[in-house]
Amino acid sequence: MTTATTAPSGRRPGRPEGQRRPERQRQSTWRRRDAATGYAFVAPAVIGAIAFVVGPLIAVAWYSLHEWNVLANTFTFVGADNYQAMLDDPALHDSLLASLWFSLGVVVLNLTLSLGLAILLNQKLPGTTFFRVLFFSPVVVSLVAWTIVWGFLLQADNGINAFLSTLGITGPNWLRGSVTAMISVIVVQVFKNVGLNMILFLAALQGVPEEIQEAARLDGAGALRRFWSVVLPMISPTVLLVAILTVVGSLETFALIDVLTDGGPGTSTTVLVFYLYRQAFEFNQFGYASAISVLLFVIVLVLTLLQWQTRKKWVFHEA
């Protein structure tokens, strides 16, 4: 560093202004070699992106235009037939509806609970660190393990219902009724992930200046009013961002459904990803499954672009 700053002419070190020729030559060789190093550094990531992301994405769009049964070994071009079939497939519509309910339930419950927990943790109550670790702990637990334990708790005559029966209450057969099964998968998913959103909200809450709240307090605003009119508007960009992240996460939920309900009872918890898996790896309809993949991709794409848009605003808000 000292050698660089001794040159009085150029403020920026490394710029060979007014320097000797060999130096400039050395600079340009360095730059050329540097560009080559750059390509070498990014090569694994770029090759990986082509081979395992962009390539497969193009392939899935191409497959979606084909009738492709793996078992029967048929692969024929059928144009938009698979998309036409999607319009006429009541099972697909059911799965879209299931995804809608699932995502909606997850978002509403997750945001309410995580924001509530973040507010509680922000009160500087005793034991805050302990509770923060505790509420966060399911995030690091494997989803399948978490789901297995909840599956055990949600049996007809064991777990939660066994405890209820000691109180004289007959609990529902959670996983065998279509509404209770949907509620179950929503609740299990939310408890698993709520800790992450809680931390994001906690950070946002801590960014709300104390003075503004103090001013509202002096103006006679009660706690609820302060939250609604002062705190919530200030953290609203985070709320929106977290909401979108949660929806995208819920759209990609597969293990939970597979382990807890297997899409049932009937098809009541067969969300889009599960239906896609079933079409591909149980019914061997790879062409149709590819068309569903494209649909899933478009939905997630729209949401992710929306999220990036929000983040821009969020960053702006921070600055």
Partner 1 sequence: MKPDLAEKPAGAVGEEPSTAQRGVRRRRTGAGPFGIERLGRLSMVLLMVLLAVPFVFPTWWMITSSLKSTSEILRIPPTLWPAAPSVEPYRQVFELQPFAQQYFNSVYIAVLVTVGTIAVAALAGYAFARIRFPGANVLFVLVLTGLLVPSEVTIVPLFKMVNALGLIDTHWPLIVIPILGAPSVLATFIMRQFFVTLPGELEEAGRMDGLSRFGIFARIAFPLSRSAVAAVAIFIFLKSWNLYLEPIVYLSSKSNFTLPQALTQYVDAYGGPIWNVQLAATTLTVIPVLIVFIAAQRQFIQGLANTGLKG
For residue 65, report the phi and psi dihedrals to the nearest 5 degrees: -95, 10
Kindly determine how many residues on this chain lie close enough to bind partner 1 according to the rule CB under 8 A.
Answer: 104
Cα–Cα nearest to 312, from 250, 246, 240: 240
CB of 20 to partner 1, least distance (A): 16
Are 290 and 82 in contact by the 8 Å Cβ rule? The answer is yes
Q: Should residue 149 be labelled a site residue for partner 1 when binding is judged by CB under 8 A?
A: yes
Q: Under rule CB under 8 A, which residues in 177-196 are in contact with partner 1?
A: 191, 196
Q: Mask of contacts with partner 1, 88-127, x by CB under 8 A?
A: -----------------------------x--x--xxxxx
Nearer residue to partner 1 within complex by CB, 39 or 316: 39
Write down the least CB distance from residue 319 to partner 1, Å. Answer: 15
218 class by beta-carbon count within 10 Å (0-12 exposed, 13-18 middle, 19+ buried): exposed
List 37, 112, 206, 309, residue binding partner 1 (CB under 8 A): 37
- Among residues 228 and 297, whose Cβ is nearest to partner 1? 297
CB of 233 to partner 1, least distance (A): 20
Distance CA 171, CA 155 (A): 10
Q: Among residues 7, 85, 96, 143, which is the contact residue for partner 1, using CB under 8 A?
A: 143
Residue 82 CB burial class (10 angstroms; 0-12, 13-18, ≥19): buried
Q: In terms of CB distance, is 181 or 296 closer to partner 1? A: 296
Those residues whose C-beta lies under 8 Å from the C-beta of residue 83, and which sit 6 or more positions away, are 64, 291
Report the residue from 24, 28, 47, 206 that binds partner 1 according to the rule CB under 8 A: 47
CB 280 within 8 A of CB 71: no
Q: In the bound complex, what is the minimum distance in angstroms from residue 67's beta carbon to partner 1?
A: 14
Q: How far apart are CA 108 and CA 103, in angstroms?
A: 9
